[in-house]
């Protein structure tokens, strides 16, 4: 039997359905809605305020009520009868508890009708048509069946789906959608005819957003809230000789609300991990919070159809993610996965580089973070970036835009997603322009040579790192005398090879910047003062020497917090770069390595802030794929660049498919 389920690759083992079919997505099996932590926190806070004066009862009853609420939600999710929509040769059926409650038959002469924009499904009747329900383009709400798989399945059943323009919809929208669906279907048929692609000799790539470091930070925040709630409860539980009952009840209520809210949020983060993709030539494994786990071998995947999902974030920005539908060689939908916060074009580039057919309506640039914003060439489309003796600007046939040389502080060249970019800074350090050289219509070498000839301050650390590595390769020992474990691997594609630095080169250690380290001392001192101050205030009646809580609590807490921060700072990891590669080691680079990459597997090292404006340490492979992303321990960019030059490691992202000098355009 052929299966086309939207959530996982499954077959109808009972043989109840003949031919292809598709079912709506399974709901999430984890009960962790966003509204559960605040709701249970309010209930727990109210119970803590109105229950008996006994501290044990006041603590246990709210916690038990909050736990009972979560258990009821889990039981309701597991025991309730599930409603499923199924499209098969028997028609469009609505099933409840495995039994068909409503069936809408259709045929080639009387196909199903679908509104192109409102996604309203109508079934044929003797007197016309009747509304069945609404589809969702992503298969996440309403009938929970995606539009394109619904259309493809009706074609496989021999009853084409008829798209129409509903009331108030623009004319021709249905024809445009049907033409796009026909192109996708034709691409899938071509993929089926070609058969499985030969496996490529490439390793697996893991993609996850947010990274484990970001998720750890979220867990630490919620754990801190739990600690605050526990401290508040400790204030109430520890006996005090001059406590006021009303104030104690209010503190207990607030502390219980904070504790339950933080605990529920902590549980949600643990039970709803971010999307994690593992892509290799042998198969694709996905774990995402929407569709669960999907594991498919490469031989079963004929094509992958991505659909964009655009939503507005809390800060007003638009976030673009993907719903990827995996189709088998019989045009059956064998799996659906959500990209999460993984950049869409980066995920598509990884899938294609590992031999998978990604079917898109339009091709996208590999530069997933190209966002030039306003550029002068938008006003002068035919203009070209030029450098003069007394100005830089954009010269064209219909005009020119010029910036006086006195206002220019420097020109910086770097690579983003395999494309060279120019950052133009003013004399005060402000950014005047940040744009790709392809939009400015000038090559990297030409711009660098002209700027240096005219005396402009220009920096191109990636080219300098490449030349430094090439020079180090000239003085490297021959392959016969070099250690076999660190011999240079040949470049994967054509291009000037970059020879690794000798393995005997001195290691360069790059620590964390002092601007981030000081916050650990400040946080440690404040936390120690608060905790020790509260304990000293509550236990002051145990001391008969007359010392107040401020006399010993504040200094002791400050010293304890500073010592804890010092211990953490001494054990904080650092980057170690040498001829063998790069690694992150504990105890300031002297301890055990947390992760490491050998020199032949490194195509570039750099720091980027395109992802939510958070500085991130990136390590790329020679083909331009991200093999390491570190957002928790990020060194200073300038120190890391100098260390790369000294150790012979390439600085910046390499050009996709080439291991050589930085890209020109």
Q: What is the pLDDT of residues 452-484, one digit of tens each?
A: 888 898 888 777 766 765 555 544 444 333 333
Grade residue 68 by pLDDT with cuts at 50, 70 and 90.
very high
Strand, coil or helix: what is 172? coil
Of 584, 586, 595, the closest CA to residue 567 belongs to 586
Give percent above pLDDT 70 in the chain.
72
Instruction: Write the DSSP assignment of 17-51 as a string of letters.
Output: S-S--EEPPPPPSS---TTHHHHHHHHHHHHHHHS
DSSP line for 307-373: EEEEEE-TTS-EEEEEEEEEE-TTS-EEEEEE-TTS-HHHHHHHHHHTT--B--SS---S-TT----
Task: Please give the residue that has the higher pLDDT: either 216 or 110.
Answer: 110
Q: Which of 446, 382, 381, 380 is nearest to 411 (CA)?
A: 446
Q: What is the largest CA-CA distance in the chain?
A: 97
Cα distances from 500 to residues 64, 542, 584, in angstroms, run: 62, 67, 19
399 strand-pairing partners = 396
Q: Do the beta carbons of residue 419 and residue 436 sit within 8 Å?
A: yes
pLDDT class for 304, splitting at 50, 70, 90?
very high
pLDDT greater at residue 47 or residue 97: 47
The phi and psi torsions of 496 (rounded to 5 degrees) equal -60, 125
| 8 Å CB contact between 378 and 368 | no
pLDDT at 612: 53
pLDDT above 80: residue 327: yes
- E strand or H helix at 145, and its extent? none
The token duo for 633 is 């321990």
| Cα 286 → chain centroid | 13
Residue 287 phi/psi, 5-degree rounding, is -125, 115
pLDDT in tens, 113-165: 888 888 888 888 777 788 888 888 777 777 888 888 888 888 888 877 888 88
Burial class (CB in 10 A: 0-12, 13-18, 19+), 50: exposed
What is the separation of C-alpha 32 from the centre of its chain, rounded to a whole number of angstroms? Answer: 21
Could you tell me which residues are beta bridge partners of residue 92? 87, 104
C-beta neighbour count of 157 within 10 angstroms: 22
33-to-63, 219, 394 alpha-carbon distances in Å:
19, 17, 54
Digit-coded pLDDT (tens) for 102-113: 888 888 778 888
Q: What are phi and psi of 22, to 5 degrees?
A: -140, 145
Q: Quick one: angle between helices 549-571 and 514-538, nearest 10?
A: 150
- Cross-strand pairs, 460: none
Give yes or no for residue 201 having a pLDDT over 70.
no
């Amino acid at each position: 039997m052929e299966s086309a389920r939207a959530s996982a690759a499954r077959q109808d083992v009972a043989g109840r359905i003949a031919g292809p079919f598709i079912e709506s997505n399974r709901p999430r099996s984890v009960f962790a809605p966003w509204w559960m932590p605040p709701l249970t926190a309010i209930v727990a806070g109210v119970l803590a305020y109105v229950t008996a004066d006994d501290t044990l009862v006041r603590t246990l009853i709210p916690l038990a009520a909050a736990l009972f609420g979560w258990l009821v939600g889990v039981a309701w999710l597991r025991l309730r009868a599930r409603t499923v929509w199924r499209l098969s040769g028997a028609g469009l059926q609505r099933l409840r508890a495995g039994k068909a409650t409503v069936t809408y038959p259709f045929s080639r002469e009387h196909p199903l009708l679908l509104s192109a924009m409102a996604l309203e499904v109508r079934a044929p009747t003797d007197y016309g048509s009747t509304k069945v329900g609404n589809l969702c383009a992503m298969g996440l709400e309403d009938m929970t069946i995606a539009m394109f798989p619904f259309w493809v399945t009706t074609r496989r059943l021999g009853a084409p789906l008829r798209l129409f323009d509903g009331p108030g919809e623009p004319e021709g929208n249905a024809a445009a959608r049907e033409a796009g669906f026909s192109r996708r279907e034709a691409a899938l048929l071509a993929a089926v005819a070609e058969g499985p692609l030969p496996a490529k000799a490439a390793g697996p790539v893991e993609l996850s957003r947010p990274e484990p470091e970001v998720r750890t930070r979220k867990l630490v925040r919620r754990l801190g809230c739990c600690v605050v709630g526990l401290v508040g409860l400790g204030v109430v539980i520890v006996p005090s000789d001059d406590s006021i009952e009303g104030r104690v009840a209010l503190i207990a209520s607030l502390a219980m609300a904070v504790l339950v809210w933080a605990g529920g949020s902590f549980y949600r983060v643990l039970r709803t991990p971010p999307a994690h993709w593992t892509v290799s030539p042998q198969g694709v494994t996905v774990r995402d919070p929407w569709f669960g786990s999907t594991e498919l071998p490469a031989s079963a995947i004929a094509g992958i159809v991505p659909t964009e999902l655009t939503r507005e974030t809390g800060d007003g920005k638009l976030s673009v993610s993907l719903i990827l539908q995996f189709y088998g060689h019989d045009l059956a939908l064998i799996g659906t996965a959500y990209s999460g916060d993984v950049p869409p074009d980066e995920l598509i580039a990884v899938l294609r580089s590992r031999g998978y057919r990604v079917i898109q309506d339009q091709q996208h640039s590999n530069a997933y973070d190209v966002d030039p914003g306003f550029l002068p060439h938008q006003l002068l489309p035919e203009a070209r970036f030029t450098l003069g003796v007394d100005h830089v600007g954009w010269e064209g046939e219909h005009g020119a835009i010029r910036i006086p040389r006195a206002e220019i502080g420097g020109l910086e060249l770097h690579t983003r997603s395999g494309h060279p970019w120019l950052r133009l800074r003013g004399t005060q350090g402000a950014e005047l322009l940040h744009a790709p050289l392809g939009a400015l219509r000038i090559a990297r070498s030409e711009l660098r040579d002209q700027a240096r000839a005219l005396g402009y301050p220009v920096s191109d650390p990636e080219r300098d790192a490449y030349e430094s590595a090439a020079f180090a390769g000239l003085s490297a020992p021959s392959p016969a005398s070099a250690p076999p474990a660190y011999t240079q691997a040949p470049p994967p594609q054509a291009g000037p090879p970059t020879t690794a630095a000798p393995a005997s080169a001195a290691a360069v250690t790059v620590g964390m910047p002092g601007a981030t380290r000081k916050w650990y001392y400040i946080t440690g001192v404040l936390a120690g003062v608060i905790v020790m101050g509260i304990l000293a205030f509550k236990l002051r009646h145990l001391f008969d020497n007359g010392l107040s809580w401020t006399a010993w609590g504040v200094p002791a807490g400050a010293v304890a917090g500073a010592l804890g921060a010092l211990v953490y700072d001494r054990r904080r990891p650092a980057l170690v770069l040498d001829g063998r590669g790069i690694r992150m080691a504990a105890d300031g680079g002297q301890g055990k390595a947390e992760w490491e990459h050998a020199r032949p597997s490194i195509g570039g090292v750099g720091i980027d802030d395109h992802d939510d404006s958070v500085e991130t340490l990136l390590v790329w492979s020679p083909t331009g794929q991200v093999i390491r992303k570190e957002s928790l321990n990020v060194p200073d960019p300038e120190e890391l660049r100098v260390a790369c030059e000294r150790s012979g490691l390439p600085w910046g992202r390499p050009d996709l498919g080439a291991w050589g000098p930085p890209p020109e355009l």
